[in-house]
A and B are shown apart, each in its own frame.
Chain A
């Protein structure tokens, strides 16, 4: 027990973030590419888990805010030549505004209806981005989103030999780490605790004088904000923004990451993103039938490990401890 408590005091998040900074040093362009993907999707998944795991709100349309953020950041940087340091926060803010607008209606519904309305709003975002040629580029999307100017990073000792994509990766890791730190503060704040209480029993929480809807809406807005930031980063990483970003398979992908990692823990969804992206890379090099594998994986997970990887590991650790004590 004491060993476990000591383990819990290690700042794992910080260690992982610092270790991640050395990925480009291995030298392979491919590793950096995959690591950037993982970092961004980890933020996206953790932002969803604020709703799913902490609030008990099943959003089937989280891709909407990812897409809005991606388009906002891409359009600002490419068309209006706005610097990244303004464009990214603006993208997050716009996503949050839309989350406030859509969320206002969504949180008035419960359970399955909540899921369906989030899906409906996401489909509207997708349909608009698909058809609004003059702004979003329509079906063709918007390619050639520029990298932010990161020449300043070259002055940092050790980073001089890095490529532009490596510099962007370093920036991404830093930003994602900062966002995760904020989200962790949110989850541990009185607001976060109340959110969990609402998940457990909305009626009773209402009875003790908490405005349930307002708390849920606030969670929805925060989740949308960070999904928008993840989207903005992803658009740059992907060198383009496409309607797919807001399409419902994107929403279900991030749901699967969250479940795979385990929605019962803060970093679970991030671990889910890591596993799913690496699996995707590995399996698509053998077969084109990745969705088939994903389907089998998902169903196996639901039946055998409903707590996800983190839940399963936690169960294993507890069982080992019991064995040692016996």
Chain B
């Protein structure tokens, strides 16, 4: 089977290190509650083996800015 995360239409998802995660939360003065969510079972991050509370960094193609960076917090079910 083809790896879904490698499909051209799936933007690149990476795990955010604990340090970067802390920096992100501090930058926006938020907690994980305010971050957009993503399911742990989402096909795009299934291969990363993430846990609840992790944050994924997503590089998306954007019509307005070429490439944009987005963050989503991993949740269970």
Decide whether A and B assemble into one complex: no
Residues of A at under 8 Å CB distance from B? Answer: none
